[in-house]
Amino acid sequence: MNISTTKFIGRTIYKGIAEGETLVTSMGISFFGGVDPESGIVVERGHELEGKSIAGKVLVFPTGKGSTVGSYTLYRLKHAGKAPAAIVNAECETITAVGCIIAEIPCVDQIPVERLETGMRVLIDGEKGLVEIDHHPNR
């Protein structure tokens, strides 16, 4: 059997291992005001992910934006059971990094996020900075 995976090694922002389905956007995300902390739904008007839930997904986006309160929003999402399983960035800025650390969400950056698409099955190993795409998730 031919096992088909693609691996990217980036930088560990927060350790931990997560596996799940990707939710990908080419737009930055502001967690404060852009994501409802009780539901995990993206509420920012005009955002590519508007109306979609980030809960339990491997959230992939280039970089964060907005208020430093976004870090606490990630913490609130985690405690509401609506946080992403992991976060993958091209460049993780301070707001997202602090949010992942305090909420204990695995996070890796320096990944070519443009190579990921919504619906991919991935493994995130924050210990190694690894993002592994499984091209045959129904094996």
d(CA 16, CA 7): 17
Q: In this predicted model, what pLDDT tens digit does every residue of 27-62 receive, in sequence order? A: 999 999 999 999 999 999 999 999 999 999 999 999
With a pLDDT cut of 70, the percent of the chain lying above it is 96
What number is the average pLDDT over the span 95-105?
97
Domain 5-134 sits in CATH at 3.50.30.10
pLDDT at residue 117 is higher than 70: yes
What amino acid positions are annotated as catalytic residues? 67
- What pLDDT sits at residue 1? 47
What number is the average pLDDT over the span 132-136?
86
- What pLDDT sits at residue 136? 72
Q: Domain residues of the chain, as ranges? A: 5-134
- What pLDDT sits at residue 138? 63
- What pLDDT sits at residue 3? 65
Tokens of 5: 């995976």
Q: In this predicted model, what pLDDT tens digit does every residue of 3-17 receive, in sequence order? A: 688 999 999 999 999
Query: pTM of the full predicted structure?
Result: 0.94
